[in-house]
Amino acid sequence: MHPSRKSRLSVSLKTRPGAFSIRRSCRGLGRSRPETLPENRSNPPFCGTWIVTFLIAFLGSCPVTQGEIRFPPPEFESGYTFPQTTSPAPQSVLQEYIDAAVLVVGLLLASHLILKRRSRRAIFVLMIGALLYFGFVRDGCICPIGAIQNVTLTAFDRGYAIPIAAAVFFVVPLIFTLFSGRVFCGAICPLGAIQDAVLIRPVAVPGWLESGLRLFAYAYLGAAVLFAATGSAFIICRYDPFVGFFRLGGNWNVLILGASLLLIGLFVGRPYCRFLCPYGVILRHLSRLSKRRVTITPSECIRCRLCEDACPFGAIREPTGNWPEGEYRIAKRRLALFLVLLPILVAGGGWGGYALKSQLARVHPRVRTAERVYLEEVGQVQGTTNVSDAFRATGQTTEVLYADATRIRGRFALGGALLGGFIGLVAGGKLLVLSIRRRRTEYEADPAGCFACGRCYKSCPKEHERLKRIRETAAGRA
């Protein structure tokens, strides 16, 4: 439906299996007419359409196509043997082990380069290597971000078994994050690497704006879990912005999305990682618990602020002093207000998610099929579609289809409420953080927001002194 058309589509599924109704009222038209559900088909390129048209016209004018049939049609009654159905071979188990080994070795090397050697150049080389292997060689298909959906579907569908590679790629980076911080983001993730490689002139994003934009990542995570749990879709994989570049082709809409993010990434450091990545949400909170993490200076901080200027992600936190008495009292009152507001935000978000249950349920193919079949049954649309024809070919009754759609809508009513409540909880938590102030005596890398890229190492004068001493020691031994 075109967004400029002022119309409303309402769908009701009642407890009776056969009572599935769709009503569309058009303002200003004085009549009701059916809603034709558009199919999810991509338009062919313009030049390709002309080429196909030319070939059809050319072949249609050939004498061969207009003459009699040169070969008799096949017949299948006199001893004809049908060929066996073949299927493509599954992915080699050996390749899965190789990918898992490369991941573990890469994370071990990244932890050493980031926390021990503290070399931005070496981190960048490792990052490019991971981009080439996990991105272009392996087509960006094995990544922990999409594995969120496999884990979710495994938890909610007893008939689904998560692939070994997906389980390994989901769990291993989490373990390394608990011990070494976000080393996966800094040097191994191909999605982060392709953005980091194009960053040329970073600009600072205000803290309040970054915190607000990060809410999209939480919503994306919640929606991905909801659609995977209901068996509707794997939206993280469907809308992976960079997989088209890794595979050198793909859906034009997704390619445009990826190109837009890379264009923004020229000036804003890792926009997808900071504001959209659902796996990054999990890593943010786990990295707060990490035993080891990035430290800007190897010794005492001289407060030169060079690291703050070098970080393109706004992850450097400045020292804090004692709160003035007036600001402290204001912060206490603000904290009390936000604590009262928190349950209101959760309840309001839950109500909003419940109200969107019909729209959310249409993501499920079974619900879309039920809507289309119903419109055809009552004569509100002309003709059939491939989806409705495929359903009728199964021999199932429409009562069973409508009952399934009703059950799925019920699951989305609960799931939508939980999703909305989760988003409200996150929004309320962000407001609470505004009234909490942690004391710092020197410039520190925020363990949650730091991507472990190593740029702050190059800017620290104390780090240069450390490297100079190492070179002098090595020269003396020589």
Q: What percent of the chain has pLDDT over 70?
A: 81
pLDDT of res. 17: 40
Among 47-61, 158-172, 365-379, 423-437, whose mean pLDDT is lowest? 47-61
Rounded Cα distance between 417 and 346, Å, is: 10
pLDDT of res. 85: 59
How many helices (DSSP H) and strands (DSSP E) are in the chain?
23, 4
| pTM > 0.85 | no
| Type of residue found at 225 | V
Rounded Cα distance between 164 and 171, Å, is: 11
For the segment 347-358, what is each residue's pLDDT rounded down to a tens digit? Answer: 999 999 999 999
pLDDT of res. 130: 96
For the segment 4-63, what is each residue's pLDDT rounded down to a tens digit? Answer: 433 333 333 333 344 444 443 333 333 333 343 334 334 444 444 444 344 344 434 444
Angle at 93 between CA 89 and CA 96, to 5 degrees: 115
> Are 422 and 281 in contact, with CB atoms under 8 Å apart?
no
Beta strands 316-317 and 7-13, pairing class = unpaired
For the segment 61-81, what is each residue's pLDDT rounded down to a tens digit? Answer: 444 334 344 445 555 555 656
pLDDT of res. 71: 44
> Are 150 and 167 in contact, with CB atoms under 8 Å apart?
yes
Closest CA to 35 of 2, 73, 81, 82: 2
Among 326-330, 331-335, 430-434, 445-449, whose mean pLDDT is lowest? 326-330
Which helix (DSSP H) or strand (DSSP E) does residue 20 occupy?
Answer: strand 20-26
Mean pLDDT of 240-267: 94
Q: Which two tokens stand for residue 42?
A: 């991509």
What lies within 8 Å, CB to CB, of 454 at 6+ separation is 113, 114, 118, 119, 120, 123, 124, 186, 294
Model confidence at 323, in pLDDT bands (50, 70, 90)?
confident
Q: Provide the sign of the torsion angle of the four alpha carbons 112, 116, 122, 128, taken in this order.
A: positive
- With a cut of 70, say whether residue 129 has pLDDT above it: yes
For the segment 135-157, what is each residue's pLDDT rounded down to a tens digit? Answer: 999 998 878 999 999 999 999 99
What lies within 8 Å, CB to CB, of 437 at 6+ separation is 320, 323, 331
Q: Which two tokens stand for residue 130?
A: 């991971």
What lies within 8 Å, CB to CB, of 73 at 6+ separation is none
pLDDT of res. 62: 43
pLDDT of res. 9: 34
Mean pLDDT of 115-144: 93
For the segment 447-471, what is each residue's pLDDT rounded down to a tens digit? Answer: 999 999 999 998 999 999 998 898 8
Closest CA to 449 of 258, 335, 311, 299: 311
Q: Hey, how many other C-beta atoms are within 10 angstroms of the C-beta on 8?
A: 11
pLDDT of res. 384: 93
For the segment 385-408, what is each residue's pLDDT rounded down to a tens digit? Answer: 999 999 999 999 999 999 999 999
Rounded Cα distance between 478 and 476, Å, is: 5
Helix pair 144-156, 278-287: axis angle to 10 deg: 90
